[in-house]
Amino acid sequence: MSGPGLRVLVTDADYGVLDIEEQVLAAAGHELRTARCRTPAEVIDAARDADAVLVQYAPITAEVLDALPRLRLVSRYGVGVDVVDTDAARARGVWVCNVPDYGTTEVALHAVAVLLALLRNLPEHDRQVHAGRWDHRLGGRLRRPDGLTLGVVGLGRIGRTTMAGAAPWFGAVVGHDPHLPDDAWPAGVERLGLAELFARSDAVTLHLPLTADTRGLVGADLLGRMPAGSYLVNTARGGLVQLDAVLQALEDGRLAGVGLDVFPTEPPPAGSPLLAHPRALLTPHVAWYSEEAEVELRRKAAGNVVSWARTGRPDHVVVEGR
């Protein structure tokens, strides 16, 4: 693209003052505006004269794209683009881009930390000590991890980094990723179908995008295949997991513990049984976060717009526009 600067709207963001985005865009001659959109109607109202939008959670639907013919690029704060109707964007020639590599270390570290905390039942030991009870048996049954099998579902950047961090503690590691070619498969990791992976894994960690095929993927069927007393960790997308099935698996002992950083609705509704469950280790969608990761995320999300305006192509393309 060429010509005068672009009008860029941040539809929504949880980062406070958007000085980083403003600096990146202003240095290239572009104008930044901000809004607090949660619905398609709010996006349409705020973005009527926008050339590009930066999006965190606001829905970019076919309705939105039809109502905003000037809009040519959507840049998502994050890896996943499930808030964007990518098929609709493709049909209308709208670029969709993301930031695929800003928090790999942070998410993998968080997943490994949650997994090991569950294996040692640190939350329950902490509660007992704070309650004045000093007895190692109150934390329940603990097993030596080198006799357990770890299953990793999704072997992109984060999945592979998580695997590398957790694998030394486990006796075996198995993986599932239908999109990873054989010549890129990690050495020493057995490749399994999804059902078999759950059947053979004492602990499963999820690292998948949320798509029509993966929404609600982990439910009663897959959880019911796991050995009794297993563990599940999800730091990827909340919609991958059916929470009612997780709760049932905790109640019947199929799961000894679950670690969730993401939820289908965030925050989870008050009164959700998982919020009070002693074997659910819950964190507030924080796996991605470090001070450095936030700066990198915001710079790169805005940088997609700058690169597109300068070269005709954003840095990290999910959907090719025109």
Q: What is the C-alpha separation between 210 and 192, in angstroms, rounded?
A: 20
Q: What is the C-alpha separation between 15 and 293, in angstroms, rounded?
A: 12
**Annotated catalytic, 251?**
no
8 Å CB contact between 104 and 157? yes
Q: Which of 251, 266, 292, 320 is catalytic?
A: 266
The identity of residue 42, as a single letter, is E
Max CA distance (Å), the chain? 71
CA 96, 101, 106, 107 torsion: positive or negative?
positive
Q: What is the C-alpha separation between 229 and 83, in angstroms, rounded?
A: 35
8 Å CB contact between 176 and 194? yes
| Closest C-alpha among 160, 207, 214, 205 to residue 185 | 160
**Annotated catalytic, 266?**
yes
**Annotated catalytic, 237?**
yes
- Cα→Cα distances 248→114, 221, 258, 277, Å: 21, 12, 12, 11
8 Å CB contact between 198 and 174? no
| Closest C-alpha among 197, 157, 238, 131 to residue 258 | 238
- Encoding tokens for residue 160? 């592979």
3-state secondary structure of 139: helix
Name 173's bridge partners: 150
Q: Which of 127, 191, 285, 299 is catalytic?
A: 285
Which residues belong to the active site? 237, 266, 285
